[in-house]
Amino acid sequence: MKYAQPIDRKLVVLELDGVVVHDHTPSELIRAGFPLEPERYEQALDLHEKESTGDAKPEEALFQYSTLACGLSLRRVIEYATFKMRFVNAFDTFIKTLYRKNIPVLLISSSFSIITEAVRQLHGPDRFLTVAANPLMFGLKKKPEIVISEQKLMSLVQRYFHRARDHRAYDKLAATGHCNVVIANPLQKASLISELAMDLNIPSQAVTYVCSSQKDRETLLSIIRSRGRAVVFNFEASMEAIIRECTKDNPSEDAIQFTTPKSRRANLRSVFEILFPDG
């Protein structure tokens, strides 16, 4: 997607979980999508805990989440992103301001692309350069072997927010139990960020990665090693060790900064003040 005006030679990358919304995981999507099947959520929650402790690889976990999401209607997924996820304070103002400054924003997630696309449509597609996540496959409920393309799926998400939400397609289409793993691996994520910056002719030192979680560690370190910068926001206590590790190996004060420990009151204004100390 092209911006209305020439972009600034900067790129801001926002992690969905923790930076944009509070506590989004595939297990939360499954809990919201199957309220009468608590056993699915219990399996997904157990999987999330294993992934968090390193007992399950991200790629393997994503395949299992996809299996647990089988049968989830397209409508339920969009409604989850629209009504169930709790957005971090001042998110809308934050991305609106970046757009006015002509600074491109990449919204990225280790979860499913349908979620990131719904967030983009909900908060204004023109405010994001692009979104990146892992495609969850959808097909007809009665004929799941008939899978629709990712392009068609994203088009349906867009139309939902433009007075088409009552269309029967949103109930007839459901997750097939399969996904296309693109960036579940943290290093894959870092590579995608680097490639996008190169395509935009943005130098690596002008890339800012905003994250919050221990699972973002390897992506963060990769960005720092390539001379980019990071802002750790709404962060877990475990991130403090990572911060010390990064600052030890990267003496530059601008390499990594952190603001606001994990809190329901976390406000993206603090990130804005780091990015733009002069306003």
Give the Å distances, CA to CA, from 63 to 81, 180, 274, 275.
Answer: 20, 9, 37, 36
Residues of the chain whose pLDDT is less than 50?
1-7
Q: What pLDDT is stored for residue 3 in this prediction? A: 41
Q: Counting beta carbons within 10 angstroms of the beta carbon of residue 136, is it exposed (0 to 12), middle (13 to 18) or buried (19 or more)?
A: buried
Task: Report pLDDT for 51.
Answer: 87
Residue type, 61: A
Name beta bridge partners: 130.
Answer: 106
Q: What is the pLDDT of residues 134-170, one digit of tens each?
A: 999 999 998 878 899 999 999 999 999 988 889 999 9
pLDDT at 247: 64
What is the 8-class DSSP label of residue 129? S
Q: How much is the pLDDT for 168?
A: 92
**Residue-level pLDDT at 144:** 79
What are the angstrom distances between the C-alpha of 38 and each of 29, 79, 110? 12, 19, 23
Give the C-alpha separation, 109 to 18, whole Å: 10
Instruction: Name all domains of the chain by residue range, CATH numbers in brackets.
Output: 1-22+87-133+183-279 (3.40.50.1000), 25-84+136-179 (no CATH)
